[in-house]
């Protein structure tokens, strides 16, 4: 058995145009190209028997690195060996890293938002940079507040699996996903695989979910079609700049219903 650590990079489109951080788009897109080259190089590097070659990662800007680490974090949390128990230490470290990135992003946005406001009053896109990221839905539902989580569970996302969607990779968007994904990832990780010493039934449920492709938290709700709809959502949201309006919650819910409908059709076909 070869010991080389293969890396399967997250989809190429991960940190690209669908980022919720619009103001970063300018930064991200050209950087994405560079990153992609680096990633390609990185893959080659790693395949050469675990050697590290190529441009140093330290050349990346803070945000670029954050994007990269974020993507890797989510990928690692998702990846596990079927039939083998997750290492709790590893899961905890990954989730803590995710939390740290989330904090970092939050701080960034808070600063940018404040700056924006100070500079030019409230702008439509500044509302995308709300502090409140529980549902993050800057992408999907910027107007939603924390209290609306219960109303819009489908928005909590994730790292939808490719098979589920059938949509092209570049629709994946970790930055957007992360804030939503975070709390779900916490649930999803082996934490719930606590043993028979605790609730046995809970345990059995968890183990069933663990062997499936979707972490338990995602399976519990009508996530399947909705996570796909999230991408649709992004498309829709990008085209209709109605964020920041008081009626956005309303529009969110309406969009959801529409999307649900669309997805049902898609899934059936």
Partner 1 sequence: MTYTSEGIQLHSSPESTSKQWLLYRPGGDMQWCFSQVKGAIDDDVAEADIISTVEFNHTGELLATGDKGGRVVIFQQEIENKNHPQFRSEYNVYSTFQSHEPEFDYLKSLEIEEKINKIRWLPQKNAAQFLLSTNDKTIKLWKISERDKRPEGYNLKEEDGRYKDPNTITSLRVPVLIPMDLMVEASPRRVFANAHTYHINSISVNSDNETYLSADDLRINLWHLEITDRSFNIVDIKPANMEELTEVITAAEFHPHQCNTFVYSSSKGTIRLCDMRVSALCDKHSKLFEEPEDPSNRSFFSEIISSISDVKFSHNGRYMMTRDYLSMKIWDLNMENRPVETYQVHEYLRSKLCSLYENDCIFDKFECCWNGNDSVVMTGSYNNFFRIFDRGHRRDVTLEASRENSKPMQVLKPRKVCAGGKRKKDEISVDSLDFNKKILHTAWHPQDNIITVATTNNLYIFQDKVN
Give the interface with partner 1 as residue ranges (CB under 8 A): 1, 3-5, 7, 42, 45-46, 49-54, 56-58, 60, 65-66, 68-69, 72, 76, 83-85, 87-90, 92-93, 96-97, 100-101, 104, 183, 186-187, 191-197, 200, 203-204, 207-208, 210-211
Q: Which is nearer to partner 1, 70 or 256 (CB)?
A: 70
Least separation in angstroms between residue 109's CB and partner 1 is 17
Q: Which is nearer to partner 1, 80 or 231 (CB)?
A: 80
Least separation in angstroms between residue 97's CB and partner 1 is 6
Least separation in angstroms between residue 32's CB and partner 1 is 16
Q: Which is nearer to partner 1, 64 or 173 (CB)?
A: 64
Nearest to 76 by CA among 64, 66, 65, 90: 90
Least separation in angstroms between residue 218's CB and partner 1 is 15
Matching residue, tokens 């509302």: 127
Nearest to 152 by CA among 245, 261, 250, 265: 250
Q: Which is nearer to partner 1, 194 or 213 (CB)?
A: 194
Nearest to 98 by CA among 187, 11, 224, 216: 187
Least separation in angstroms between residue 89's CB and partner 1 is 5
Q: Length of the chain, please?
A: 269
CB environment 209-227: b (16+ within 10 A), e (fewer): bbeeebbbbbeeeebbbbb
How far is the C-alpha of 116 from the C-alpha of 125, rounded, in Å? 10
């Amino acid at each position: 058995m070869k010991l080389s650590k293969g890396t399967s990079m997250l989809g190429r489109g991960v940190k690209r145009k669908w980022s919720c951080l619009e103001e970063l788009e300018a930064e991200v897109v050209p950087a994405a190209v560079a990153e992609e080259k680096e990633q390609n190089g990185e893959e080659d590097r790693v395949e050469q028997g675990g050697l590290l070659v190529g441009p140093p990662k330290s050349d990346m800007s803070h945000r670029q690195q954050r994007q990269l680490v974020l993507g890797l974090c989510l990928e690692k949390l998702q990846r596990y060996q079927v039939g083998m128990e997750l290492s709790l230490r590893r899961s905890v470290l990954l989730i803590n890293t995710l939390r740290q990135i989330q904090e970092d992003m939050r701080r960034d946005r808070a600063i940018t938002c404040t700056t924006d406001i100070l500079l030019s009053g409230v702008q439509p896109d500044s509302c995308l940079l709300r502090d409140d990221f529980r549902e993050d839905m800057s992408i999907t539902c910027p107007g939603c507040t924390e209290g609306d989580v219960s109303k819009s569970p489908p928005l909590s996302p994730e790292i939808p699996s490719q098979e589920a969607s059938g949509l092209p990779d570049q629709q994946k968007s970790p930055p957007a996903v992360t804030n939503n994904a975070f709390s779900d990832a916490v649930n999803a990780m082996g934490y719930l695989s606590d043993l028979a010493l605790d609730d046995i039934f809970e345990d059995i449920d968890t183990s069933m979910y663990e062997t499936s492709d979707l972490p338990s938290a995602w399976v519990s709700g009508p996530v399947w079609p909705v996570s796909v709809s999230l991408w649709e959502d992004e498309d829709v949201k990008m085209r209709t700049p109605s964020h920041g309006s008081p009626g956005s919650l309303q529009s969110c819910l309406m969009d959801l219903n529409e999307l649900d409908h669309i997805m049902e059709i898609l899934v059936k076909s």
